Amino acid sequence: AQSVAQPEDQVNVAEGNPLTVKCTYSVSGNPYLFWYVQYPNRGLQFLLKYITGDNLVKGSYGFEAEFNKSQTSFHLKKPSALVSDSALYFCAVRDEGSQGNLIFGKGTKLSVKP
């Protein structure tokens, strides 16, 4: 069965420092991986995706993610965190055999302090 794990409920980072939000996945076929961000009282906003090709994917707001097939991971990264990056981050996967539904992780709350 497909699954996504986000092992950290919360990540705390000082502004200006690099941040990493972790995600590991399990699928039966080739994975299609996504990161979404949710600000308070807002819907899920698409950040970036990995479908194929370069393992380092760049997305919105300076975020990037690294796909690692051997470790079945897709960690979200940013070189220099901003206070405005504080939000809830969701990793999601779609199996190549699915009709389109996304399987989400439980979310990681990112808190960036000045």
- Contact residues for another protein, defined by CB under 8 A: 32, 34, 36, 41-46, 49, 51, 90, 92, 94-96, 98-107
CB of 45 to another protein, least distance (A): 7
Question: Cα separation of 18 and 8, whole Å?
Answer: 16
Going by C-beta distance under 8 Å and a sequence separation of 6 or more, which residues neighbour residue 43?
none
**Closer to another protein at the Cβ: 42 or 113?**
42
**Closer to another protein at the Cβ: 76 or 81?**
76
The Cβ of residue 38 has, within 10 Å, a number of other Cβ atoms equal to: 15
CB of 26 to another protein, least distance (A): 15
CB of 14 to another protein, least distance (A): 27
The size of the chain, in residues, is 114
Q: Which residue carries 């076929």 as its tokens?
A: 29
CB of 16 to another protein, least distance (A): 29
**Closer to another protein at the Cβ: 16 or 29?**
29
Tokens at residue 112, please? Answer: 């960036």
DSSP 55: S
